[in-house]
Structure formats: C-alpha cells, structure tokens
Structure 1
Amino acid sequence: MAVYTKHPASEPPSAPVREKTGHLMLRGWCIFVLFMALSGTAWVHAFGEPVTAAIVIAGAVVSLVLWSVIRPSVQWRRLPWFAVSYIAWATLSLAWSAWLGATAVTLLLLYLTTIQAAFVAAVLTWRELVRAIASALKWVMALSLVFELWVAVFVKAPLLPGFIVGKADDPIEYWSRNNLFEWDKRIQGIMGNSNLLAPVALLAIIVFAIRIAAGAPRRVLLYGWIALAAFLFVRASSATAYLAAAGAVLVLITVLLMRRARRPGERTKYYIGYAVIGIGGALALFFFREPIFTMLGRGSDLTGRETVIWAEVLERANQRPVAGWGFATPWVTNDPMFDGWIVDHGVSVQQAHNMWLDVYLQLGIVGLVLFSLLFLAYVWRTWFFAVDRPRWDLRADRPYSPLTLLPTLVGAILLVQGFAESSPLLLWGWMFLIMFGFKIKQSPHIGVGPAEQGAAIERGEPIKQAP
C-alpha cells in the first residue's frame, strides 16, 4: 500500500476548491434578478401587471433580506452620487406632479430596479458578474427562440398577451406575430417587441464574445450562443439596434487602439480620429437619414417619432421647462394625462421614444442636467476603466482584462438606443447603468479590493496577492 514519505517534495494532493452551496444559490438568485430585468415586458405579457408587480416587489424584498444577512463590503462614501441626485429629484417631483398616481407607481419601480442593481454589484465579483449576465442572457435568448418556435409549430397563429389566440385590432398588440418561418418579417421574442429583443441580442453577442476572450470554458458552446443571438438580432431587424451595433464597434476599435499606446500623448491621434468619425457619423445620420433609414427599412422620421411623438412631447415639456410635469417612467397609460394623448397604431404610447426628451418632459431642465451628469460620469468612468492599464502601485505592465470592455460597450448601446427609445431609463438599461456605475466605484480593479476579496472568501477561495 502506498504511503507518504516523511520528507515529501511537495504538498499532498488535495481536492480543488469548491464554491459553497450558499454562494452558488446567491449567484443563481442574481442570475434570476438579471433575467427579470433583461426579459422586461415578457412577465407582463405572460402573467399580467398585478402578478408581475408582485414578483418584482417580492424579488426586491428577497434581495434586501440577503443584503442584510450577507453584509457585503460597501464603501458608502463611493456611491454613484449623480444617480442618487437624479433619483432624489425624481422623488421631489411628487410635490408638483401633474400625474401623482403615475409618479408614485413608477418611482417604486425606479427604487426597486436601483436596489437590485446595487445588490447584484455588491455581492458578486467582476468575473462572477459577467458570468451571471451571460447566464441570464442565455435564458432570454433560448426562451425567445423556443417561444417563437412553439407559436410557429403548435399555435400556428399570432398570439396575444396572456397566451390568447385571437385577432387584434392592430398587429402591435400581438405578443408574437407567428413570423419565425416568414424570413422577410420581424420576430419579437419573449419581450413581444422587436425593438426590445434586438438590443438584448446585441448585448448577448458582446457578453459571449468577451467571455471567450477572457478564456471561459466550453468556448464551442459560447460560439453557438453567439450564433443564436446573431440570428435573433438579425430577425428582430431593429434600425436603432443596427446603429447601436455600429456605435459599439466604433467604441471597441477605439479602445483597442488606445490600449496599444506606449508613450504619453500617443492617444491624442486616436481621440481625434474617434471624434471625427463620431461627429461625422452623427452629421451624416442627421443630413442623410432618409436614405439611411430607407435602406434599413424605416422611415426618415423613425416611424413617426419625429413628426408625431417628439413634437407633442416637446410642446408639452416647454409648458413646464424648469421642473417638468413629474416623474413617470414608463408612462402609465390608464392615467387621464396619458390615455389618448399620443396614439400610435390605435394604442396610447408609453414613452417619448427619446430618453432625453422623456427626462425633459418629466423633470425639466434640472432633471435633464442631473441625468446628463449621470450619463457623462458613467461614460467617463467606464471609458478609462477600459482603456487604462490596471495599476494601483508602481507596477505598470499588468495585462488588460477583456471584462473591462463590457461597461463601456453597454454605454455605447444605451447612448445610441436612447436617441429613438426611452428604454435606457428603465428595465435592464437603468439597471446596468446603476450596476456598472456602482461596481466601478466600489471595485475599480478586477480581483482587487475589499469587495472583490470578500466575495472570494465567501466562495471558499484563499486570498492571493494580485499579479
């Protein structure tokens, strides 16, 4: 029988470190929280507004209880204060809101989304966070395909919310239009909206690619997930998402060029080129929007946004330019102030289809300034988080991490999407804005710092000196 020598040359073999069951369950809960945000309106279409509201509130309560039990390391002085200021101003709008009920309801949604964003960022390390986002996106992508396939194969007819088969007054009311095998038509996924499915599919492509670049296991499967996300992205056929993809590619190329700089001032030429391409692209989009959007299958006024929705919103917003009419994201269409105000395809719209106009309408110039500072701070931090080499001492040759690309690419998507949609103000857009902003301020280096090391200890890993 083999025995160990009394003078071993190395340590006896031991079992690999395994994650504690509690932490595995915690990460599973975070995946569910992210899935709720990314799947968006799917919950309302499937279960209705009352049940969805109960699930969202219960989820936030569970996260608060877990937060109080786990007590993750949080530097309270390093909160994203521009976001806090924006939320505080939105809360103050209760004092002058023209739609008080809508303000109260949507403020609750804002609070719950913000709590969940901070919770996920606080209890997961950077690597776990990206991994959890990837898992949540896999569920969204897979369920979207399965849902459309189920409708096409078994239902064989357009489907209304609540799993009802019937004829709608307008196709916009359908949850699924049964277009999966109609290759020239758009599909909507579990969200029931192509303009919501496409940006999430674009985000999935980016996240899966970053996971591959970071050396994640089972890379062949990740390539398969990229193919599925690309299929859904193309079939959703959203003009805004196509432009967001172009913006993300521009940002990615610029970041990678910035990382190649070796001498002070070498980045200047890249900044100039980035500015020229960005400003030139914006001007080309403005002056040549008709042929561009025609090529993408959309009208030059973004399917009525410019001539109908934006004009109406701007007219009302200018009546209360300083403080706005009161917070309401999204618009509550059963409120008399919104019901029948702007009608698109026979349905009262729920947003201004431009996040800047929406903020101006609701919170006036003050709110617009606060939100602009919030977004500027996010873009600033995520940009240098991506382009600067990780450094907290005299060592200046540490390698870049592919994970640092994700926050700035998300910012590019939200910035472009916010031109034609207000969705960055709610659901996954707002959650990611707060989550990454909070995480970067708490843990500006991947794997380094109290928050990162505290989570590693919870997983049962020994703390190692950062390379």
Structure 2
Amino acid sequence: MTPGRRRALIGAYATFALFTVLAGQFWRNLLGWWGFGAVVLVVVGGGIALIVAERPAWRWRRIPKSTLAFLLIATLSLAWSFYPAASMLGLTITFVTTLVAVALALCLSWTRIVRHLAGAIKWVLGLSLVFELWVAIFVRGPVLPLFPDFDVDGELPDAFFWSRGLLFSGGPIEGIVASRNLLGMVALLGLIVFGALLAAGSVRRAQGIGWLVVSGVVMLLTRSATVILVGALVAVALGFVVWARRVGPDRRRGVYWAAAGALVASVTLLVVFWGALLDLFGKSEDVTGRFDIWEAVTGLALERPWFGWGWIGYWQPWVEPFDGLAVRNGVEYLQAHNAWLDVWMQVGVVGLIAFASIVIGALWRSWFLAVDRPKDEQGRPLPHSAASLVPLLLLVALIGQSLAESRILVESGWLLLVAIAWSTKQRQWAPEPLPAEPPPVPASRKPPEFPEPVEGNPARFDKLSERGFPEPVEGNPARFDKLSEQ
C-alpha cells in the first residue's frame, strides 16, 4: 500500500471512530443495540489494527500514570462491586473506549487528530440539519427511533423521540444524536475546532467560516442552557489564555489572581441570581430534576464513601440500585447528571482522586502548551499557534459539561479526555508542541509527484526525461534537489 493510501485509510478510520463516539445514539436508534455492537467491533478492530500497523513508541515517562491508576481502581472494584456482572460490562466499555483513544493519541499527530475530529463534527452537524429538515418538511411531527419499538398507543415523554420536528419553530432540535444537550455540545466543540483551524490557517477561509456559522446556528437551535453556560466558560478561558500569552511567563501572577477572583465572583453571582438565571433559560427550580438525582446519588455514595458501589460507567437500568433511582416525568435517567458525583458513587473517594488527577494533569499540561511559546530544536522561541489552544478549550468544555452531565465518563467525553491526556503528555518534550498544519491541497491541484532519482535505475530516469526533466548528473546535488522539489 502506498503511503498516500495508508494515510487516507487511517484518516477515514479516525473520522469514523470519532463520529461513532460523538453520535453513538444515532447508531443505536438506526440499527438497534446489536447493530451498534457491530459498529463498535469495527471501531475496536480498527484501533487494534492501527496499533499493530504503526507500532508506536511506548515510553513510560510519556504515559499519564493517573489514567492507569483510575483504570486499575475501576478494575479492582470488581472485588467489592454490588453488581459484578454489570461492572464487568461497564469495564469492557471503558477499556475499549480507552483503547481507541490511546491508539489515536499514539499513532496520529495531534494536528491530524484535530483535523479528523473536525471531519467527524461536520458529519454529525451536517446529517443533523438534513435529518431535522427532512422531519420538518415531510413528517411534520415527532419521529420515534427505529429501535427500540415503543408503545405508540400511550403518550410518550418528549425524551423518547428521535426528533420532535421543531426546526421551523426555532427548536429545540435534537439532530441525529436524539438529544439537544448532546447536539449542542457537538456544536460547541465545532466552534472550538473550526475556530482554531481557521485562525491557524489550517483550513480554507470560506470553508472555516462556513462551518463556524453552521456550528453557531446548530448550537442556538438546540436551545441548551447547559451548553450556553459551558460556552461562556470556554470564552472566559480563551480570554485568560490570550492575556497570559501577552504578559509572558514572568508576569502571570496577576492572571492567576484574576482567574481566582473571577471564579469566586461567578459562584457568588450564581447563588444570588439563581432564580433569575433559571427563569432566563426556562428551567425549573430543581434544574429539570437534577437536585433530586444529586440527592439520591449522594445518599448512595455516603453508604460506601471510600470505595463505592463498583464501576459501571453508564448506568444499567435493570441493575440495583439504579432501577428506578432517577425517574422524572416517565423518563428513567441513566446518569447522575454530574460526573464527579457519579465517580464518587461508583468508585468512592479513592477513585475520585484518581479521576481528578487525570483531569487536573491534562488541564495543567494543556494550559502551558497553550500559553507558553513553542521552541525549535535549538531552543529559539517560535510564534504562538492557534492549534495549541484546542486541547485546553476542549478540556474546559468537557469539565464544564461534567458539572451537569456525566458524559465525560462515556463515549466521546471519555475518549477526548484520554486522548488529550495522552497527547499532551506525549508532547511535553516536543520541540514544537501542537503546531499548525497548512490546509490540504485537492488532488486535482497537486503537482505530479516525481520520485527522487536513484543511481542504477534507468527506467526512473527515462520516466523523468519523458516529462521534460533533464537527466540527473552525478556530482550535481542541486539538480537532484530541484527534482525533489518538483
């Protein structure tokens, strides 16, 4: 296989894998759990094949130990799990997601990961708009998933529908992921990724602006209060990064004090204006039932505070104590709606410390990769790159979401967390961490590729001569260089 085809195949796999973790509910609604399982097998098999084919270097000092510690604690929880069979299933899901994340982090450069993440986001947003447009024009009403088969004779809660067909009413829309919160989060990730690629010059200007507009429109149409607040948090983080870059490493104490003051002020304002904020977003006093869920999960966690009930990841509704634990308006929720409470309940204080270590370590490395100027191999400073903002801003978005959702523990949330943790650790010693990359040139515009002439291979010299290139002369390296450039 030629290098070009190999690169294209790896890129297609990476985009498909990232699309699958971003839009897992799309596959489940379309194909059912068995079909989704087949898709997962393809993704996992591709990750294993990628590692075997690329044989990435495994350097112990460049591996985030906190990830291994958390996985070890989750695995050991089988010994005291209240639901060992469910823990085994949850561990399997967590490990295969981790495997794909590590495969991408070790075998692809960060720039390529971001480019393929952008591709996956394009597919999710594009298909979501097409799907919602089809529902609004032809169905003109709510649409149920193909799987499972709901009893349509009774009145179903809104959460059971794939789409409610509200595009022409201004939303909220659910897209192919069947959730306005999840679709809004994908749109926010799109704003981060497309904005960074556009600023770095890694995408054509018209294309970058177009996808920024699409991401913004989709985010607004979801009308997700959670995502809007997370987006504000990301914007604040970006402001502090720009400030830290301008003042330089010797004058950042003021930045850190200002950040601490902003955090205290934000919490104070949130408490004081809580009611007004809920009215603004049309939320109930208990934030759509979250207070009741948090209270129930906290009660469980206090029963087993140090080591928890056993790792399970996404709750399995047929397992005690999750059966009927979080039910609101006929909908049984399968998460604590707060990742930190979820981790505490599942693997206790010990697991919570390990999980916090993953997040804090990745946040620490992402911050300095974003604010410190990269250097070349001789130690000379290089200009800042917008591409180096992506790990930090993605991580801030995931952390913000983790306060109201537990998605950082499963599918796209867990994969992105692990990929960021491993990629930033891998590039701590790189001479130019997370550089930008020029936009790809379409095949129709690429000049013909000519192999570098090899002495003793007249066929190759003849081929070059046929295309108008003079025969290389031994002892004239300039002519060899010229041929390689062309």
Structure 2 length as normaliser, TM-score? 0.85
Quote how far apart the aligned CAs of 1:58 are: 3.0
1:319 corresponds to 2:309: no
1:290 corresponds to 2:264: no
Quote how far apart the aligned CAs of 1:304 are: 1.4
Match for residue 210 of structure 1? Answer: 196
d(CA) in 1 for partners of 2:431, 2:34 = 41
Quote how far apart the aligned CAs of 1:152 are: 1.3
Is the Cα–Cα contact under 8 Å of residues 336 and 342 in structure 2 kept in the other structure?
yes
Counterpart of 1:147, as a letter, is F
- Going from structure 1 to structure 2, the CA distance change for 1:239 and 1:374 (only over 3 Å counts) comes to same
1:304 corresponds to 2:289: yes
Match for residue 360 of structure 1? Answer: 344
2:180 to 184, 191, 194: 194
d(CA) in 2 for partners of 1:411, 1:278 = 17
Q: How does 1:121-270 map to 2 (within 5 A)?
A: 121-162=105-146, 166=152, 168-183=155-170, 185-262=171-248, 264=250, 266-270=251-255
3-state SS of 1:41 partner: helix
1:346 corresponds to 2:330: yes
1:97 to 70, 78, 81: 81
d(CA) in 2 for partners of 1:222, 1:262 = 29
Counterpart of 1:153, as a letter, is I
1:386 corresponds to 2:373: no
1:333 to 310, 317, 329: 317
1:377 corresponds to 2:354: no
3-state SS of 1:302 partner: coil
1:276 corresponds to 2:261: yes
d(CA) in 2 for partners of 1:283, 1:86 = 33
Q: How does 1:434-445 map to 2 (within 5 A)?
A: 434-444=418-428
Counterpart of 1:414, as a letter, is L
Match for residue 464 of structure 2? Answer: none
Counterpart of 1:384, as a letter, is F
Counterpart of 2:277, as a letter, is I
d(CA) in 1 for partners of 2:451, 2:189 = 30
Counterpart of 2:295, as a letter, is A
Q: How does 1:411-430 map to 2 (within 5 A)?
A: 411-430=395-414
- Going from structure 1 to structure 2, the CA distance change for 1:411 and 1:368 (only over 3 Å counts) comes to same
Counterpart of 1:349, as a letter, is Y
Is the Cα–Cα contact under 8 Å of residues 60 and 112 in structure 1 kept in the other structure?
yes
Counterpart of 1:177, as a letter, is R
Counterpart of 2:382, as a letter, is R
d(CA) in 1 for partners of 2:61, 2:367 = 22
Is the Cα–Cα contact under 8 Å of residues 145 and 189 in structure 1 kept in the other structure?
yes
Is the Cα–Cα contact under 8 Å of residues 376 and 382 in structure 2 kept in the other structure?
no
* Higher RCO, 1 vs 2 (CA within 8 Å, ≥6 residues apart): 1
The gaps in structure 1 that reach 5 residues or longer are 1-17, 453-459, 463-467
**1:243-273 deviation digits (Å, cap 9, x = unpaired):** 1111100110110111112462x11112111
Quote how far apart the aligned CAs of 1:448 are: 5.0
d(CA) in 1 for partners of 2:157, 2:98 = 34
Counterpart of 1:74, as a letter, is W
1:82 corresponds to 2:82: no
d(CA) in 2 for partners of 1:445, 1:390 = 11
3-state SS of 2:314 partner: coil
- Going from structure 1 to structure 2, the CA distance change for 1:262 and 1:69 (only over 3 Å counts) comes to closer
3-state SS of 1:20 partner: helix
d(CA) in 2 for partners of 1:134, 1:445 = 26
1:28 corresponds to 2:37: no
Is the Cα–Cα contact under 8 Å of residues 122 and 439 in structure 1 kept in the other structure?
yes
d(CA) in 2 for partners of 1:366, 1:416 = 22
d(CA) in 1 for partners of 2:431, 2:29 = 40
The gaps in structure 2 that reach 5 residues or longer are 437-449, 453-486
Quote how far apart the aligned CAs of 1:393 are: 5.5
- Going from structure 1 to structure 2, the CA distance change for 1:445 and 1:96 (only over 3 Å counts) comes to same
Is the Cα–Cα contact under 8 Å of residues 375 and 431 in structure 2 kept in the other structure?
no
**1:17-73 deviation digits (Å, cap 9, x = unpaired):** x96111111111111111111113221111111221232133112210221122123
d(CA) in 1 for partners of 2:24, 2:370 = 28
Is the Cα–Cα contact under 8 Å of residues 125 and 447 in structure 1 kept in the other structure?
no
Is the Cα–Cα contact under 8 Å of residues 374 and 431 in structure 2 kept in the other structure?
no
Is the Cα–Cα contact under 8 Å of residues 195 and 212 in structure 2 kept in the other structure?
yes
d(CA) in 2 for partners of 1:215, 1:446 = 21
Match for residue 478 of structure 2? Answer: none
Is the Cα–Cα contact under 8 Å of residues 342 and 348 in structure 1 kept in the other structure?
yes
Structure 1 length as normaliser, TM-score? 0.88
1:402 corresponds to 2:402: no
**1:195-241 deviation digits (Å, cap 9, x = unpaired):** 11111100101111111001124221221111111111011111111
d(CA) in 2 for partners of 1:408, 1:203 = 12
d(CA) in 1 for partners of 2:272, 2:344 = 25
Is the Cα–Cα contact under 8 Å of residues 126 and 446 in structure 1 kept in the other structure?
no
Quote how far apart the aligned CAs of 1:80 are: 1.4
3-state SS of 1:45 partner: helix
